[in-house]
Amino acid sequence: MTVRIGIVGLGKILDQYLATFDRLPQAQVTAVADLDAARAEEVAAQVGARALSVEALVSDPEVDVVLNLTIPAAHAEVAHAAIAAGKPVYTEKPLAATATDAFGVLEAARAAGVRVGGAPDTVLGAGIQTARAAVDAGRVGIPTSATATFACPGHESWHPNPDFYYQAGGGPLLDMGPYYLTTLVTMLGEVASAVGVAGAAHETRTIGSGARAGQSVPVDVATHVTGILTHAGGAISTVVMSFDTAGTEAPKIEVHGTKGSLSVPDPNRFDGDVRLRAQGSPEWVVLEPSAGDIPGGRGIGVVDMMTAGDEAGVRASGELALHVLEVMEGMLTSAETGRAVPISSRVQRPAPVPLTRS
């Protein structure tokens, strides 16, 4: 099956998707669109596609699925345009700027009978899938807790236009949280309630590279968020997402259970060592890859969505992306109100990915 892909939004993440599509024989980019018409023409010439307007792309008969790589504020608008044209749509994280918008996207998709998927698809790689397989096999016993930590100084040191990281819809939680929370849900199941505290160390950030180096960017969002998530299955996850640190030596993700502990690789990658330490053992043991897509790559979720036998088989699904977005919003709402926030959306853990070399 050839999956003909139309891409809307041609920013920095595009090259990673194109690299994946270039090596997958079933993926073919047939059309591209961007607010910058010259950029669209450039990319179209690069990949052998056509440069179209968004309106023309979503209705084009040679596009099977719309890949939505626009900025978060435009995610819902582009998704609705694709759905209205009867096209499945796969959206970069987060699924929409708000959970309310994301609910609306899924309702429209159900009414139209089309599929919706959402990043991250890093959870389909061998790193996270091998960790999940270890949990499913009972290697840690009954999971009781997990930790997830992302901490850095912020992206303004390397990104020439970092403004959106510090505007509504940005911040470390909405930027990096989807990788970590999607991994936690994949391994431990859906979240029933969320608690959060949040703050910001600086009122402005200074751009460190590019044509705008030295300019100040106002900070309108929390740049350090700590949350406690109660999974429906009983496990408790502690989450730290921060742009307010010089660095950290904290593990990316750990899962602890009644029989052992699991060190999980970077959820922003598709690979990495999975290490297990059994109760009573003095050593961590590296587990051989036993599940997941090798080598992975951003975009495998698009092909997975389109080739799944039915909607329930879509692994990087819109329902999963919505659930993670609602959990993140719940953490921020809890930080404002001082109360635990129940999570209303429900999602089944996606089907495991067998060990494959795509």
Asked if residue 120 lies in contact with residue 179, where contact means CB atoms within 8 angstroms, the answer is yes
* DSSP annotation string for 212-275: TTT-EEE--S-SEEEEEEEETTS-EEEEEEESS-S---S-SEEEEESSEEEEE--TTSS---EE
CB-neighbour burial class of residue 71 (10 A; exposed 0-12, middle 13-18, buried 19+)? middle
Pairing of strands 341-342, 285-287: unpaired
Instruction: Give the tens place of pLDDT for each residue, 9-30.
Output: 999 899 999 999 999 999 999 9
Contact (Cβ atoms closer than 8 angstroms) between residue 143 and residue 257: yes
d(CA 177, CA 181): 6
CB of 304 closer than 8 Å to CB of 69? no
Task: Report the pLDDT value the prediction gives residue 169, as an integer from 0 to 100.
Answer: 82
* Percent above pLDDT 70 for the chain: 100
* pLDDT number for residue 342: 98
Query: From CA 23, how far away is CA 132, in angstroms rounded?
Result: 26
Is beta strand 293-294 parallel, antiparallel or unpaired with respect to 356-357?
parallel
Query: DSSP class of residue 299?
Result: T
Proportion of the chain above pLDDT 90, given as a percent: 94
Query: What pLDDT score does 312 carry?
Result: 87
User: Per DSSP, what are the bridge partners of residue 201?
Assistant: none
- For helices 126-136 and 171-188, angle between their N-to-C axes, nearest 10 degrees: 40
- Residues lower than pLDDT 50 in the chain: none
Q: What is the pTM of this model?
A: 0.96
Quick one: CA torsion of 136, 137, 143, 146, rounded to 10 degrees? -70
**Strand pairing category for 27-33 and 3-8:** parallel
Name, in order, each residue with C-beta under 8 angstroms of 352's C-beta and a sequence gap of 6 or more.
Answer: 129, 132, 133, 136, 291
CB atoms within 10 A of CB 218: 11
d(CA 351, CA 287): 21
